[in-house]
Structure 1
């Protein structure tokens, strides 16, 4: 661990209760727990349950059961995102007041049609690191009067971060401290690669990007230990931290636990679920061995 922070290090594990935990979650939870213990730090548990349609109390209880079975303990109370919608709204309003967020009205079907029309002319449309097309500039080109009319009529919309406008106000290179993969380096952030990311939707008061940086700051998290699937998303998180004047944790992106085919584990695949492995006779020590710990 580097000397990024002189305060007592704070680690967190932040699962979503939309399914049962699997081996991939176990790796992340154990690494956070063990690194906190090894460095005299704190280990927190956060329940990321913004998606009220998919997250359930049953799955949340399953998280507690699985983690206790692994022999992990955490500080109380547990932070639950569904109890903090007001905090996320305040963060969004700050970005709106700064002129860095705008309402977007295009549906998924309209976005798909826009991209298809563009690429049918032999021109590639940019995509983010996850492969999703960048949001078209249609809404940023709408007249203010039209936007006001749409908002006053309660037209379904999301709020997006104007990435290019946001980075113009930065006064220093955007980087993060990375210790994953046995290295200790400063990584250059590239939020532009994501296009105008969603900050909130009509069916979700906050996006993962916005809520995670606000939560980490509120909990005093100093070390974010998570899977490599979120490595590139750190660019967006670092930008939001700069814009909202939040502290930047140190990041450690660990390897993913994958299927034999190389595909990332899924909660729908019960064969790697901790509950299934426990019922099959596996012990917490067996889980650590399976994970190469």
Structure 2
């Protein structure tokens, strides 16, 4: 039997905080206990926010925490061809279509279609795509693409679910409501999700699924804020014929007001805490790890 494979996959769009420390240390410890492998992946697709100094800080902060990882580190920006290949496969299955509305236009469409102030929203609270781009003719789509108009590539959710059938995933942690065990995936709750844009060659949903498959990740350990997203990931795994990892969603480290930590919170940033003289051992105690 092959050893389990775990990974920690931060984005270099800010400095790491206590929540990142918890996830990285938990993945590393689970890999050690299970005689498995621990990988580090840098999710740097967002060229407007990701910076080299933040990536360098990731390595520095994790090293200070005592986390060791295999090399080389996979950087998403070095593997754009992998995501293009996946998009091509989805397009060949008839599961992709371009939409051309701007964000402001989508807001206006939602407002116009709301009934008594209601329009369906995804688990994160964003309104489902209300446009009609899916019904555009092939000729009209090609005309707009040739014109250079901005676009988003969306997954035809109904068609993808029809192809994949019923889906579940194995949850060894828990969801925000305590859900654990065999979880029924409900990807339709997310509507026609965006998988790429004209100026961004992939989305989180697509790249995380492709990366985990290519790296042989068998255990996905991440925060509960991504629990509902797993339904979309299971759908993409199914239609692309990719292996299914086991999932473990852990509690989030929150601030004094009960909010999820963000990279803008200096009070919980690892670099700031280290500068104040706090040790790596004290960090472990702060986040509740032995």
Deviation track 1:167-191 (CA, whole Å, cap 9, x = no partner) reads: 11124x2000000049861100000
Q: How does 1:1-293 map to 2 (within 5 A)?
A: 6-119=1-114, 121-122=115-116, 124-171=118-165, 173-181=166-174, 185-293=181-289
* Pairwise CA distance, 1:204: 1.1
Equivalent residue pairs, number: 286
Q: 2:86 & 2:196 partners in 1: Cα distance? A: 11
Could you say what the CA RMSD is over the residues aligned between the two structures, in angstroms?
A: 1.2
What TM-score does the superposition give when structure 2 sets the normalisation length?
0.96
Gapped regions of structure 1 (runs ≥ 5): 1-5
Q: 1:273 & 1:35 partners in 2: Cα distance? A: 24
* Pairwise CA distance, 1:158: 1.0
* Pairwise CA distance, 1:145: 1.8
Q: 1:251 & 1:204 partners in 2: Cα distance? A: 27
Bigger drift between 137-146 and 227-236 goes to: 137-146
Partner of 1:44, secondary structure, is strand
* Pairwise CA distance, 1:93: 0.8
Distance 1:184 1:230, change over 3 A: closer
What TM-score does the superposition give when structure 1 sets the normalisation length?
0.95
Gapped regions of structure 2 (runs ≥ 5): none
Q: 1:229 & 1:35 partners in 2: Cα distance? A: 20
Q: 2:212 & 2:137 partners in 1: Cα distance? A: 37
Distance 1:56 1:142, change over 3 A: same
Partner of 1:264, secondary structure, is coil
Partner of 2:13, secondary structure, is coil
* Pairwise CA distance, 1:123: 6.0
Please list every run of at least 4 consecutive aligned residues from structure 1 whose deviation after the TM superposition is greater than 3 angstroms.
Answer: 181-184
Q: 2:164 & 2:85 partners in 1: Cα distance? A: 22
